[in-house]
Each structure stands twice: as C-alpha cells, then as structure tokens.
Structure 1
C-alpha cells in the first residue's frame, strides 16, 4: 500500500491544494447541481448520509464478494441495503437529538464537536459488525460470514471506513464531513431507497407494470413478457408501492427478486 510519505513533494502539494478546495460550499453546490438536493434540509441530508455510510461501510466491502459468490442474491442485497440504510438513518437521527439539534436546518451541525462523531461512529460500528445481528433474510451476520476470518475481514473494512468518516470531520468540521458523505450517497446510489428520487422511481415502476409500451420494456414489450406474472405478494400494486416506499426489506424473497429482475434500479425517475 502506498504511503503519503512515498509521494514526491510536488504530488503532496497538489493533493493538499485539492483538499483545500473542498469546502462546505463546494459540497453544497455539488448536492444542488448534481443531485437536485437542498443541502440545508437536515432530514434530507441525513437520509443521504445514511446511504453513504451504508454504501461505504457495508456494501463496498467483502459483502459484495459474498454476493458474487452466491451467498446473497440480488433481491437479498436490495432488502439488506435498505434495511441497513434505515438503521443508519435512525441512529443518525437519534444522535442529532442527543446532540441538542432541534432545527430542521443542517447548519445546526456546525455546533457539533468531532468527539461526538467518534461516539456515533462507535455505535454504527458495533451495530454493523454484531455477529448476532439478524438480517432481513433471516440469517445472522455471523452465519452469512461463515467463518471468523471472513467476519474479521468485514470488521476491518467497517473500522477503516468509519475511521475515515470521523477523520475528515476532525480535519474540516462535522458539517463538512457529513456533507461529503451525503455527496457520496447522492451520487453513487441514486437508485437506492431513501434517496430523494426514490418515490418518483417507485411511482414510475408501478405505472409501467401494466404498460408494456413503456420504453423500459424494449421496443415491443418483450422484456415485460419474459419477466412473467408478478409473485402473489407483488400483485396488489397499491400494497407493493407502499412497501417499496416505506420498508423494502419487508418484501418476501420472490417479490424482491422479481422487482430487481424487472429493473427498478435502471428506471429514470
């Protein structure tokens, strides 16, 4: 692994200049212009932070390798990712309340100390790496890992990510760190539950289920034909819409697999 000390003074200088250009204002403008998000709204910002943490600390780890190995299906991943995002969001909201933030404006985050973020990161780490934690699929994290070595590999990844998560706040402030993590969530995972575009994505998905002429299904609707009839628990589209909006992790396995196969993640809201 390359160490910062291995880089030439010129490279180090350029990296420092690039880091200095990253400010709260740059992150805010990125959210506005690239994701259509109002970064001043604390609830929206926390949703995106939850997505960014889930993607960084959970999905972009050996979990993705386990998925590729067949330990988890695509439908399992959708359910677990949304469940984990919800858990991260609830802990972020609770942490804000404990920190005395009652405003709906994200500017209130500027008053939080970096030491308080270390407390938050510790809570997130303990939840994420708890081997007895039961996933929406029914198995525990330890059962998914299958071995002490695999579980330790995941723990190491989560520890590194959350260490970076807190470290950037020590350097440039809590609000900057959360804005940066929110940018990660907004730009890397626009197809995820809790993203501001998710409700529009769900509404379009429900509309096209009975419209074989929609371009999503191909020029002659052949993709819709190959997909087949919805599983029993997905046939009531009103209930399906409510579940997708509120708690996708509660979908049963056949419905989750069918929805992923239908390409909900590839729809343009």
Structure 2
C-alpha cells in the first residue's frame, strides 16, 4: 500500500477509517442488516463492470474489439495505445488472464489496459 499510495497513503487510511467507523456506528445504533444491504446495493451500482461480475466478459471482449479498431470512437478522447506490451503474451493467453485472473497479469499490462486502453470506460450501451 505504501508503494502505491505514496504521499497520499495517510489520507487514504484516514478516509477508510472514517468510512468504516461510520458504518460501525450505523450497525451499532440501528441495524447491522441495514449496513450489509447498503454495502451490497452500493457495490452492485458502483462496479457492475469489474472483474468477477456478470458483465466482465463483455468488457474484455469489447476491449479487444476496440484494440482492433484504431478508428473506434473510444479513441477520440486520446489516441489508440498500439499493441499491448510483450509481457501480455499471445492474445488468447492475454484474454484468458483478463477474464479469469487479471491479478496474474504483469503490472505493465494492467496499466496498459486501464490507463492506455481506457478499459474502465467500456460499458454496454444497450
């Protein structure tokens, strides 16, 4: 965490502590079930396109479709990132790792997907 957070680690820890204390207060004064329900609803609404959710395969497939189309509107906000880093391996392995164990990808590949490829901005439109 220290390496990732750098100078902002203390702010992150303070924020996380404040959020946890607020949830504990609600659980102790009102109803623990209310906290669990709120966390579940918040998670569903905030991260429907993250790894492990039902929409994740769509995100991965769409990411590769957009990589194959340098003229896709997705790249209008920036530029097409070019090919993935060599450490991503072949396309099939890269796709499988993204689908089933993105935590096994090298850091430079994850950065390519998130920062260069804008993977977090891929959502279904229908």
Same fold (TM over 0.5): yes
Instruction: Give the corresponding residue for 2:39.
Output: 181
1:208, 1:214 within 8 Å by CA — same for their partners in 2? Answer: yes
**1:259/1:169 CA distance change after superposition, 3 Å:** same
Task: Deviation per CA, 1:216-265: give whole Å up to 9, x if none.
Answer: 244xxx933xx122211235222122222233232213212221211111
1:191, 1:266 within 8 Å by CA — same for their partners in 2? Answer: no
| TM-score normalised per structure 1 | 0.38
Q: Name stretches of at least 5 consecutive residues in structure 2 with no aligned partner.
A: none
Which residue of the other structure, out of 53, 57, 61, is the alignment partner of 1:203?
61
For residues 165 and 156 of structure 1, the distance between their equivalents in structure 2, rounded to whole angstroms, comes to: 14
2:113, 2:119 within 8 Å by CA — same for their partners in 1? Answer: yes
For residues 13 and 109 of structure 2, the distance between their equivalents in structure 1, rounded to whole angstroms, comes to: 31
**1:198/1:175 CA distance change after superposition, 3 Å:** farther
**1:265/1:154 CA distance change after superposition, 3 Å:** closer
| TM-score normalised per structure 2 | 0.70
- Quote the offset at 1:179 in angstroms: 1.9
Instruction: Give the corresponding residue for 2:23.
Output: 165
Question: Does residue 100 of structure 2 align to residue 259 of structure 1?
Answer: no
**1:145/1:188 CA distance change after superposition, 3 Å:** closer
Task: Deviation per CA, 1:127-168: give whole Å up to 9, x if none.
Answer: xxxxxxxxxxxxxx3455668xx6654443332211222222
1:205, 1:264 within 8 Å by CA — same for their partners in 2? Answer: yes
| Aligned residues: CA RMSD | 3.0
